Amino acid sequence: MNKIFIIKWVSLSLIVSLQTIVWTGEGAGEKSYGFLFSPNSTSAQDKAQETKQENKQDVKAKQVPKKKRGFGDQNYVKDSNELQLSIEGPIDAEFAPIVGKLTTLFYECYPKLLKRFDNPKLPSAKHVKLRFRPAVNVPAYCVNDTITISMDWLKKHPEDIGLLTHELTHVVQHYPGGQAGWMVEGIADYARFCYGPETQPGWSWNRRLGARNKFDQSYTVTGKFLWWLEEHYPKSVDKLHQNLQNRTFSVDDFKTITGKEINELWEQCLKDQDKNSKSSPKSSK
């Protein structure tokens, strides 16, 4: 190599390296959702409206480049590329960080919920709407692809953002009407445990099951039972879930899948819970 060629080569390498550093900086996760929530400029409702219009007009622009979305874990970026989250409500500066956490959680857990529970014959919504309301008489609820969340509840219980994973499970379930409510809520809490935040302090999942409980008690009680079931009979929760989606679920399905009556399974679950509580299903799902 002559001297001029070496100088050119070194200069080119430097430029490429600098571009790489700038690009990596743009992909940093901390500011990834800042464009959605800016309480000091316009109201959150205006922002939500702008976001809606932007979604319609400029879907392609939002999809590229992937690194600029910056949702942290690259494993999720590919799957969540076609997903959209709309925000609506009177979000103030105090509440904005909570909305940011919920947004991050959405892009982390919704692809996993879709991968595991989506019905290919009846695909779930790719565009989910979050409505924030100052006072709702429950922490959150879901109707079709819209999740309403109580701002009062989350301001008092900011550690409870895992409720979003529960509600997103309902979006993916979209079971036909009249299905067993205890299974609907049990699977939603089972999914919250598997795909929600790594730590969820204060959540009722952490309470010990006892003689006062029963498998059809719904929410975390049924959820913990389903988690035990899945550990001992892999894919059993998936089969029960599919039967609910196909409108064929009955309590006899537990025996069809495992060969044991549900009461017998429940008794075994109670005996095993201390053993189970030491490991996390997150490592295996």
Nearer to Zn ion, 44 or 147 (CB): 147
Strand order in the sheet with 84-88: 84-88, 127-133, 146-150, 140-143
Say how far apart CA 137 and CA 229 lie, in whole Å.
33
d(CA 125, CA 246): 18
Least Å from the CB of residue 175 to Zn ion: 12
Q: Which stretch binds Zn ion (CB under 5 A): 123-131, 179-187, 210-218, 266-274?
A: 179-187
Q: Which stretch binds Zn ion (CB under 5 A): 83-91, 126-134, 178-186, 223-231?
A: 178-186
Nearer to Zn ion, 91 or 168 (CB): 168
**Chain residue whose CB lies nearest Zn ion:** 188
Choose the stretch contacting Zn ion; rule: CB under 5 A; options: 24-32, 65-73, 186-194, 208-216.
Answer: 186-194
Is the CB of 32 or the CB of 200 nearer to Zn ion?
200
Residues, the chain: 285
Question: Smallest gap, in angstroms, from Cβ of residue 171 to Zn ion?
Answer: 11
Provide the CA 261 distance to its chain's centre, in angstroms.
Answer: 32
Closer to Zn ion by CB, 184 or 265: give it: 184
| Cα 14–Cα 20–Cα 24 angle in degrees, nearest 5 | 150
Tokens of 145: 């692809």
| CA dist 103 → 37, 58, 213, 234 (Å) | 11, 20, 34, 31
Q: How far is the CB of 109 from Zn ion (least distance, A)?
A: 15
Cα–Cα distance measured from residue 115 to residue 39, given in angstroms and rounded to the nearest whole number: 34
Nearer to Zn ion, 28 or 143 (CB): 143
Helical residues (DSSP H) of 64-95, grouped into ranges: 74-80
* Residue number, 186 or 197, with CB nearest to Zn ion: 186
CB of 195 to Zn ion, least distance (A): 15
Binding mask 187-216 for Zn ion (x = CB under 5 A): -x----------------------------
CB of 202 to Zn ion, least distance (A): 18
How many residues interact with Zn ion (rule CB under 5 A)?
2
CB 272 within 8 A of CB 201: no
Compute the least distance from the CB of residue 271 to Zn ion, in Å: 28
Nearer to Zn ion, 87 or 188 (CB): 188
Sole residue written with tokens 């929760």: 237
Judge contact between 32 and 71, C-beta under 8 A: yes
For strands 127-133 and 140-143, give the pairing.
unpaired
Which stretches of the chain bind Zn ion, using CB under 5 A? 185, 188
